[in-house]
Amino acid sequence: YNNIQTKQTNEKQPLTPCPQTPPDLNGTMRLLVPAQETLEEVAQQLSWLRLLEGGHQEPLDCRARYKIAIIVPYRDRLSNLCTFLLNMHPFLTKQQLDYSIFIVEQFDDGLFNRAMLMNVGFNEALKLRDFDCFFFHDVDLIPENDRNIYSCPDQPRHMSVAIDKFNYRLPYVDLFGGVIGMSRNHFQLVNGFSNMFWGWGGEDDDMASRVKAHDLNITRYTPNVARYHMLTHAKQKANPKRYEKLYSGRKRFKTDGLNNLEYRVKSLKQLPLFTYLLVDLTGRR
């Protein structure tokens, strides 16, 4: 019976646009914990959502306004990934979004390059679909408030304003790390992220400079809405050269980013909970 109803709804074309503010949001999100930390188990726990291949979802009874890609740079954090997926899918579905989750894994075990993985995610996602905007999302951050809406922002939006680990206070006013949202056009305008930040730190500050250098503004929701829980994990090695790269970054906005990105896709799979990319990053470390 349910299936028949669903089908009828889908056939009623054209659907009306989804409301700007989705119904049934209540300002909270209970943290869900995986029964077991395996992707199979998480898929099982989420079977009620009826996700489409590649971690894609779209609202059934209205027409979503935007096509959204969630890009998650990743390596060796399965436990965080399970919790992330278990919480993000219901959260984004409730917001009536048309979205797909991309997990972009760095193949080698040398220094991690978060920014370059996000550039790769952007590039590869656009080969699959004409997404309108992108959320670049750390795997260890889980939203706590369902009114923290992941719809396309007019101006670049810093999402993870208030994180429990930092007593829900923004560490500094120009912070543009953790979770950010940008339209496809704005991301292209700033030439994406720098590819030169190997190891922890600085790549998000460089992106903040790119945004400002192009006369764009970083926007934020209020801290009582833009709240996140940070999952625990081992610390990463900081990049000793990050300040040097950051201070000289401005000279390279035009030449270092999407337009000189080099990598090899070793694997691309449409899995039940996400689109998976395993990539070999090239470039001087």
> Which residues of the chain form contacts with ligand NGS (CB under 6 A)?
171, 175, 177, 201-202, 204-205, 242-243, 246
Nearer to ligand NGS, 97 or 118 (CB): 118
Choose between 105 and 205: whose C-beta lies nearer to ligand NGS: 205
Two tokens, residue 47: 């079977």
CB of 208 to ligand NGS, least distance (A): 9
Q: Which residue is nearest to ligand NGS (CB)?
A: 201
Q: Nearer Cβ to ligand NGS, position 142 or 175?
A: 175
Using a 10 angstrom Cβ sphere, with 0-12 exposed, 13-18 middle and 19 or more buried, the burial of residue 200 is: middle
Angstrom distance (rounded) from CA 244 to CA 122:
26
Rounded CA-CA distance 196/113 in Å is 8
Q: How far is the CB of 116 from ligand NGS (least distance, A)?
A: 14
Q: CB 113 → ligand NGS: shortest distance, Å?
A: 13
Closest contact distance (angstroms) between CB of 65 and ligand NGS is 30
- What single string gives the DSSP state of each residue in 95-144? TT-EEEEEEEEE-SSSS--HHHHHHHHHHHHHHH---SEEEEE-TTEEES
What is the smallest separation between the CB atom of 173 and ligand NGS, expressed in angstroms? 12
> DSSP assignment of 33-89, as one string?
--SSSSHHHHHHHTGGG--BTTTEE--SSSB-S-EEEEEEEESS-HHHHHHHHHHHH
In the complex with ligand NGS, the residue whose CB is nearer, 23 or 171, is 171
Distance of CA 69 to the CA centre of its chain: 7
Closest to ligand NGS by CB, 96 or 148: 148
